[in-house]
Structure 1
């Protein structure tokens, strides 16, 4: 399994080597045949890259509509682009096939959190934590959702759990500092 951190709001990404190998020819063909004029200068590099990624996911899903990594990654990228409702559609498709897919659960939690549906997000983070109690992203996501719903003391408890596991996580430390300012 190849894993890397996305530059978006802390959403993790993972593709198996087999999945990458199955869509690599399409990816290369897309890059080679896509004219530069397809993307007007008004778009940022991130928007252009996001558009290219969506094309690749759509091509992979055209080959296999049940391609869980492509469904999850498309949903995750949509979360990162602020398209929470659209992201949930794709993430739900992935979760129908693989209900314990941690990345899909976390990404859907992030989408719900950004939509202000904090209790629903907490439920998803709890599902992740039932699978992996040391998942720092889920711990931090739960803390952020508790914070968003006004449950500041509980948020501190969960952010402290995340810091016990990874005391050097910059984003978690930042949330901890914000929580301390509010609760003190």
Structure 2
């Protein structure tokens, strides 16, 4: 049987025991981890990943270049011109430089990692709060940079862009809701 002092938990104003987070800190971190700002960035990342994976065989992978003289499909005929136009813009060049620096020259792998980390963090509400918050926010930042540097790919999507964005939003929302929904659907929670 535990004593009253053990059951009561830490007293306000006292430092928390080493290795323990103060009361409420986990919920604040979880709010940052699965918040709307991070979720929006991660949904954009899912959409970019979806689009770049569909067009990488026809055009180029994220961060790749189209070799000169390559015959592109009709839907991507303007892609080299769009890339040349955007390469002259300082903000696009900066976004590509940041993307390549953060991803260590592997933007496609980094985008996969950021999206998978976002989904895992959202599906696991019982994980370590600080680690999950870091993974979620770092992935969200990378997703934003990748989205800026993938604007030519987003232009390729055309009418499919809203559908890709919808898939991204649904993936993030469903991953966030799944930990609470599964027990209810399985009849484990009254």
The question of a shared fold, defined as TM-score above 0.5 by the shorter chain, is answered with no
TM-score, normalized by length of structure 1?
A: 0.24
Which is richer in strand?
1
TM-score, normalized by length of structure 2?
A: 0.24
Specify which structure has the bigger relative contact order, considering alpha-carbon pairs within 8 angstroms and separated by 6 or more residues: 2
Structure ID, larger Rg: 2
